[in-house]
């Protein structure tokens, strides 16, 4: 598998981050993990192969090789995700179901790195009760998602609910730009006169004081590590089902240059595979933000 562009992207985008390679003794290191191992006497790593959302300088193969002698433990309970009381399914069933939905054709589910359980309880995706953990809408979904989280907020004003979205662009979703965050009149999502904008900032977005704070739509870069009560997730045309019936990322409709390959690089099948994983990983993270409804 070709990984040439990984280290190039990191050097070009984060020169200060990669200054460690100029320290005497680190010149021949190929990743930050090698340097950490050289510096540390006891190294504890927290790693999720399914949360890599942009090119990094440690590939899956490199990580596996560099940690082959490490003791490995898995997080077996999702404390951030709580299924409703009285249900037969658990939070782990939901997470395993999302893994199956997104990664069943990638080859990663058979990997020891993903801790996937194929015997998960599928009732979490069949539950039609009002208090079901998971559901979906289609048609004209944006207004439905906002109505749903607003309805919950009316009964539970202490809840922190948001609508989130993949980083896609299309006829009804405009491209996000940093400068737009300073102008609340610029909206990006349009659905028959119902207009919303991307998150106005990526730093501490959940606590911003904008008048439309609860109406902004969060991107992957604004919500990582944030706990939310209920979430609507919009899945767009940056992934599709290809002719082989497998999920595949679509670069032309993806709105983030930091995890894109060049046109020439995308001609390499391995790079298309890696790009697809970046996009699937973004949706995986969004769908683990206590997600209930997606489109």
Q: Are residues 162 and 283 in the same domain?
A: yes
The answer to whether position 230 is within a domain reads yes
Place of tokens 């999920």: 247
Q: Are 160 and 228 in contact (CB under 8 A)?
A: yes
The answer to whether position 259 is within a domain reads yes
Return averaged pLDDT per consecutive 10 residues of the chain, 295 residues in all.
31 61 83 87 87 77 89 73 85 92 93 88 92 86 92 92 93 88 93 95 92 94 85 94 94 80 79 91 86 42
Place of tokens 């990664």: 103
* Phi, psi (deg, nearest 5) at residue 189: -105, 130
The answer to whether position 90 is within a domain reads no
Q: In the prediction, which pLDDT does 79 show?
A: 61
Q: Are residues 61 and 141 in the same domain?
A: no
Q: In the prediction, which pLDDT does 48 show?
A: 85
Q: Are residues 148 and 56 in the same domain?
A: no
Q: Which of 54, 49, 55 shows the shortest CA–CA distance to 112?
A: 49
Question: What's the predicted TM-score (pTM) here?
Answer: 0.84
Q: In the prediction, which pLDDT does 28 show?
A: 85
Q: In the prediction, which pLDDT does 186 show?
A: 95
The answer to whether position 73 is within a domain reads no
Please give the Cα distance from 293 to 99 (Å, whole number): 16
The number of domains in the chain is: 2
Please give the Cα distance from 230 to 160 (Å, whole number): 7
Q: In the prediction, which pLDDT does 46 show?
A: 86
The answer to whether position 112 is within a domain reads no
Q: Which of 193, 192, 190 shows the shortest CA–CA distance to 174?
A: 190
Q: In the prediction, which pLDDT does 121 show?
A: 96
Q: In the prediction, which pLDDT does 1 show?
A: 30
**Which value, in Å, is the radius of gyration of the alpha carbons in the chain?**
20
Q: In the prediction, which pLDDT does 292 show?
A: 45
Domain that holds residue 219: 134-294
Contacts of 17-25 with CB under 8 Å at 24 or more apart are 18/57
């Amino acid at each position: 598998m070709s990984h040439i562009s990984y280290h190039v992207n990191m050097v070009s985008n984060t020169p200060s981050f990669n200054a460690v390679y100029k320290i005497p003794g680190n010149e021949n290191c190929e990743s930050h993990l090698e340097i950490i191992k050289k510096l540390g006497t006891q190294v504890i790593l927290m790693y999720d192969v399914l949360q890599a959302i942009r090119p990094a300088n440690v590939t899956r193969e490199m990580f596996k090789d560099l940690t082959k002698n490490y003791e490995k433990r898995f997080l077996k309970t999702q404390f951030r995700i709580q299924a409703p009381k009285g249900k037969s399914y658990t939070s782990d069933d939901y997470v395993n179901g999302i893994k199956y939905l997104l990664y069943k054709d990638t080859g990663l589910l058979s990997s020891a790195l993903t801790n996937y359980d194929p015997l998960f309880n599928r009732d979490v995706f069949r539950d039609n009760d009002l208090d079901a953990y998971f559901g979906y809408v289609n048609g004209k979904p944006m207004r439905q998602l906002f109505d749903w989280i607003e309805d919950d907020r009316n009964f539970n004003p202490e809840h922190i609910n948001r609508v989130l979205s993949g980083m896609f662009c299309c006829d009804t979703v405009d491209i996000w730009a940093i400068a737009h965050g300073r102008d609340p009149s610029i909206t990006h999502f349009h659905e028959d006169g119902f207009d919303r904008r991307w998150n106005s900032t990526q730093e501490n977005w959940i606590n911003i004081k904008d008048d439309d704070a609860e109406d902004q739509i969060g991107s992957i870069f604004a919500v990582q590590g944030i706990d939310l009560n209920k979430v609507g997730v919009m899945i767009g045309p940056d992934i599709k089902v290809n002719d082989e019936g497998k999920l595949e990322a679509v670069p032309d409709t993806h709105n983030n240059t930091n995890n894109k390959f060049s046109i020439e690089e995308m001609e390499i099948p391995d790079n298309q595979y890696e790009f697809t994983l970046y996009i699937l990983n973004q949706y995986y993270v969004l769908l683990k933000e206590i997600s209930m409804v997606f489109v």
